[in-house]
Amino acid sequence: MRIKTRNTTSHCAIASPDFYRYAPPHDDRPKTPRPAPAEPRRRRVQSAEMGMSILKALARLGGAASLTAVAQAVDESTAKVHRYMASLVEEGLVAQDAATQRYFLGQEAIHIGLAALRQCDPVRAGEPALARLRDELGVTCFIAVMGNQGPTILRIEEPALPVVVNVRAGSVLPLLWSATGQAFLAWSEGAQIDTQARRDWDGATPVQRAQLKGKDPVAGLRARVRAQGLSSVEGLLSPGISAVAAPIRLHTGQVAAVLTALGAAGGFDAAPEGRIATRVRQEADAISAALGFDGERG
């Protein structure tokens, strides 16, 4: 007897493997909002650049100007400049006159400017120029300031084969008979300058006096040097030695120091429009600009 069997399939549900995975308990705590994305760095840099451009424009415009004038100076819309002005006013860098509505540099900007002025050191600022002139022109060059006894050399640079001349750091030069002294004379005034000029004249040699002519030789020398923009001498202080010198000026226009180059007369072009004089004048002007001089005072 054959017994038939029938396969039966269990209908019990088999749990999915995901069912056995760990499920963390529900967190009912309030979610902390995510911080807003940081402003892109470039945008912040551009904002700083615009703020500085506005401050520099105010300075160029004399320290005070209308919103329209500042906007034109920085080539931006008045609406955009006004937004930046509001931030600068809030920081004390700019202030506004309630009567005229003109903006002007604020107290904080003044403090920054004064701090910069206190750091103005013509000798330190001029050291790179000394090295450049020495290497480029192959001449001895130095920076002098007005001391109690007269123009005094503070920093000097000499080429590999220096010209034999009796000047060193600490040397005091005459006012009338040296290029350095003449530069101080031309752009300086006061009792000390006048006293030393008279002393130099009284002790001058006939050759030296012959260099200065006219009813008022000192006044004539002043006018000539100012017209040239620098002083130039050939063999006046030391035979065979020529020199050119240009003033280094502060923001007030006052002469802070004098930049001088000198060399043997045979190979040194002391012409006021020559290459050496041109480079000395350029370097002196650059140092003056770094000290705040705008080139517009006498």
- The reported pLDDT for the residue numbered 20 is 44
Domain with CATH 3.30.450.40 in the chain: 120-290
pLDDT at 11: 44
Q: What is the pLDDT of residue 125?
A: 87
Q: Which residues of 196-223 are buried (b: 16+ CB within 10 A; e: fewer)?
A: bbeebbeebeeebeebbeeeebbeebbe
Under the phi-then-psi rule, with left for phi > 0, alpha for psi from -120 to 50, and beta for the rest, what region is 138?
Answer: left
DSSP assignment of 59-95 equals HHTTSEE-HHHHHHHHT--HHHHHHHHHHHHHTTSEE
Q: What architecture (CATH level 2) is domain 44-117?
A: Orthogonal Bundle (1.10)
- Report pLDDT for 35: 57
Q: pLDDT value at position 273?
A: 92
Report the pLDDT value the prediction gives residue 237, as an integer from 0 to 100: 75
Q: Where are the beta strands (DSSP E) in 63-212?
A: 64-65, 94-96, 103-105, 140-146, 151-157
Locate CATH 1.10.10.10 in the chain. Answer: 44-117
Q: pTM score, two decimals?
A: 0.63
Q: Give residue 292's pLDDT.
A: 85
The whole-number pLDDT of residue 76 equals: 92
Cα–Cα distance for residue pair 166/160, rounded to 1 Å: 17
Question: How confident is the model at residue 200, as a pLDDT?
Answer: 87
Hey, what CATH class is 120-290 in? alpha beta
Which two three-digit tokens encode residue 81?
């400049």
Query: Over its length of 298 residues, how does the chain's per-residue pLDDT go in tens digits?
Result: 444 445 444 444 444 444 444 555 555 555 666 655 555 666 667 788 888 999 989 888 888 899 999 999 999 999 999 999 999 999 999 999 888 999 988 888 887 876 765 666 788 888 999 999 999 998 999 999 988 778 999 899 988 766 666 678 888 899 999 999 999 999 988 888 888 888 888 888 888 888 787 788 888 899 999 999 999 998 777 778 899 999 999 888 889 999 999 988 778 888 999 999 999 999 999 999 988 888 765 5
> Helix (H, G, I), strand (E, B), or coil: what is residue 2?
coil
